[in-house]
Amino acid sequence: MAWPAWASTSARSRSGREETFPIGDVPRARQGKSVRACVLTLPEAGDTVPAKVARTSAKLFAEARAVIPGGVNSPVRSWKAVGGEPVFIQRGRGAFVTDVDGRSYLDLVGSWGPLILGHADRRVVAAVEERARAGTSFGAPTVAEIELARLLAAAVPSVEQVRLVSSGTEATMSALRLARAATGRDLIVKFAGCYHGHVDALLVRAGSGALTLGTPDSPGVPAALAALTLVAEFNDVEGLRRLLRSRGHEVAAVIVEPVAGNMGLVPPAPGFLEALREETARCGALLVFDEVITGFRVAWEGAQSRYGVAPDLTCLGKVIGGGLPLAAFGGPRALMEKLAPVGPVYQAGTLSGNPVSVAAGLATLKAIQDTPGAYERLEQLGSLAEGVLREAAAAAGVPATVNRVGSALTLFLGIERVASYADAMQADTTKFSKYFHAMLQEGVYIPPSQFECMFLSLAHGEAEVELLGRAARRALGAS
């Protein structure tokens, strides 16, 4: 019998571990597991794939829109960029997620980057359960905060001290406040297409959801505040040099994603980060690396180690929280001790360093440390994924390129080179929308935007990459 691509099964081994996978994925079902129970999710009579996908999720989306603006709590989740209505995810395990209608998908979103171990990793789950049983929040210092801060400072070359916060937005906002206080200057330089959270002054030619929705300059941001942000072009060394040599004496900080991840993935051009370091040092501005995506993702020490450029301040997030709300910013002791209560720069948060988030983060980072060759494995998987996507586009005769750093990558459609914001804007978003929905029907969940990254995890393997390749060949051929 030929099972539909979207039928799924949940198998429970004798050890009690449950795993969901497409029923037609025989190799995955045969991975030497002794299965004691199996629950099969099948279509109802007369179902089509769109009907199956839409049934419960559509009902929930309608309910959500009545009480949540747009029905989502972060705009890109609305699927506005690709059309249609979002599926509601019920659970995840390893490299797969399952929606409320029981359909399983190979997941390439990974909660937008944090889940480097995959979904519901047993070590993270155990750490969260243990911590929650002992109390979830105290508004007081805890031992684990010291342990996590010590681990972050030991890992990231430019960091001596860190302050834990709850989101990447908080981290970048606080780092720039500190930079302004340290330099006595007001101006900030950012790069077109780079997204640093929904800080008012940084929603100027921003990427991520703002880029996807076509609203890079958000209403509600005062013109006077936006005027304090100067915008340069990512990977344009000469343009940056001219800007800083003319106005550098007014600039408090230059903030950059060392690997841009919010206009799709765009690596730094050779010499670009080095020029940033040279020019900021020349004019006395601080260099801030937003490593919310790249930290502990592209290397244990982050992008600054991979590219050999040390910033003055570093913002971290995503992986360091293991899927729970947690972020941080850090730098040299002399800078960080300008923060209250030691110094005059105020920054605070009720749930900063939340014990449950810290437990998840510590468990994630320790699991990476305990996995021999973790980053070599992620690099290998990323290379394989890049290869199958390139092959799929070539087989379909579709102009495309794949940008990748480590286990993060973007397939750009309709364009054969992307090195800047201007390049990214030439991508064929209409074709991407068709590709997205075709991939969904193939049982592969990719980001619902041309301008986001796909993320692999240590839970992915060769079989999952092969599944991605097969799905992409069919989806690109159909779209």
- 68 and 127 housed in the same domain: no
Instruction: Name the 3-class secondary structure at 314.
Output: strand
Q: Is it the case that residue 271 has pLDDT exceeding 50?
A: yes
| pLDDT for the residue 217 | 58
Same-domain check for residues 199 and 143: yes
Query: Distance between CA 420 and CA 15 in Å, rounded?
Result: 49
Domain for residue 71, yes or no? yes
Which residue, 110, 141, 186, is CA-closest to 456?
A: 110
Q: Using CB atoms within 10 Å of the CB of residue 123, give its burial: 0 to 12 exposed, 13 to 18 middle, 19+ buried.
A: middle
User: What's the whole-number mean pLDDT along residues 241-252?
Assistant: 96
Residue 58: give the domain boundaries: 1-107
Structural domain contains residue 307: yes
pLDDT at residue 214 is higher than 60: no
Domain boundary among 343, 369, 395: 369
**Residues composing the chain:** 479
Question: 258 and 348 share a domain?
Answer: yes
Amino acid at 203: L
| Residue 158 scores a pLDDT above 70 | yes
Q: What is the pLDDT of residue 329?
A: 98
User: How many domains does the chain contain in total?
Assistant: 2
Give the span between the Cα atoms of 308 and 303, in whole angstroms.
Answer: 8
Q: Are residues 140 and 99 in the same domain?
A: no
Closest by Cα among 262, 286, 250, 99 to 177: 286
Domain match, 185 and 285 both: yes
User: Reduced to 3 states, what is the DSSP secondary structure of residue 135?
Assistant: coil
Residues 37, 87 within the same domain:
yes
Whether 15 is in a domain gets the answer: yes
Segments in 156-231 forming alpha helices (H): 168-183, 208-212, 223-226
Residue 20: pLDDT over 60: no
Over the stretch 273-314, which tens digit does the pLDDT of each residue have?
999 999 999 999 999 999 999 999 999 999 999 999 999 999
Residues 422-439: tens digit of each pLDDT? 999 999 999 999 999 999
Residues 191 and 331 in one domain: yes
The pLDDT of 267-271, averaged and rounded, is 98
* pLDDT for 380 beyond 50: yes
Q: Kindly list the catalytic residues.
A: 195, 290, 318
- For residue 140, what is the domain's CATH number? 3.40.640.10
Q: Tell whether 189 and 159 lie within a shared domain.
A: yes
What average pLDDT does the segment 193-215 reach?
Answer: 63
User: Does residue 338 sit within a domain?
Assistant: yes
pLDDT tens-digit profile of 24-42?
A: 443 344 344 444 444 444 4
Separation between Cα atoms, residue 350 and residue 134, nearest integer Å: 19
Residues 88 and 184 in one domain: no
Same domain for 101 and 209: no
Lookup: tokens for 429: 């978003």
| pLDDT for the residue 222 | 82
pLDDT grade for 92, boundaries at 50, 70 and 90: very high
C-alpha dihedral sign at 56, 62, 64, 67: negative
Percent of the chain at pLDDT above 90? 81
| Mean of pLDDT values over 336-343 | 98
Q: Evaluate whether residue 187 is within a structural domain.
A: yes
In a domain, 424, yes or no: no
Q: Does some domain include residue 254?
A: yes
Q: Are 363 and 322 in contact (CB under 8 A)?
A: yes
Cβ–Cβ under 8 Å, residues 242 and 279: no
Q: Which residues contact 320 (CB under 8 A, 6 or more apart)?
A: 148, 152, 295, 296, 326, 327, 328, 361, 364, 365
Provide the sign of the torsion angle of the four alpha carbons 222, 224, 228, 231, taken in this order.
positive
Query: What residues have CB less than 8 Å from 235, skipping those under 6 apart?
Result: 266, 268, 269, 272, 419, 420
Q: How confident is the model at residue 459 (pLDDT cuts 50, 70, 90)?
A: very high
**pLDDT at residue 30, as a whole number:** 39
Angle between helices 374-396 and 462-478 (to 10 degrees): 20
Using the structure block, give the residue that is written with the tokens 């092969």: 466
Whether 400 contacts 415, CB under 8 Å: yes
Q: How far apart (Å, rounded) are the C-alpha atoms in residues 358 and 354? A: 6
Query: Residue 245 above 70 pLDDT?
Result: yes
Per-residue model confidence as pLDDT tens digits over 221-240: 888 888 899 999 999 999 99
As a whole number, mean pLDDT of residues 88-100 equals 97
According to DSSP, the residues that pair with 331 across neighbouring strands are 161
User: Three-state DSSP class for 158?
Assistant: coil
| CA atoms of 121 and 115, how far apart (whole Å) | 9
Average pLDDT over residues 381-388: 98
* Mean pLDDT for the stretch of residues 343-368: 97
Residue that terminates a domain, selected from 346, 369, 392: 369
Q: How much is the pLDDT for 25?
A: 45
Q: What is the mean pLDDT of residues 175-191?
A: 97
Neighbouring CB atoms inside 10 A of 183's CB total 17
125 DSSP assignment: H
Q: Is 221 helix (H, G, I), strand (E, B) or coil?
A: coil
**Mean pLDDT of all residues in 99-111:** 96
Q: Poorest-confidence range of 195-204, 249-258, 297-306?
A: 195-204
For residues 313 and 190, membership in a common domain is answered with: yes
Integer CA distances (angstroms), 256 to 206, 313, 373, in order: 11, 11, 29
Three-class secondary structure of residue 343 per DSSP = coil
Answer with the one of 77, 107, 137 that is the final residue of a domain.
107
Q: Whole-number mean pLDDT of the chain? A: 89
In a domain, 454, yes or no: no
One domain for residues 82 and 126 = no
Question: At 49, which amino acid appears?
Answer: V
Name residue, tokens 């060769």: 462
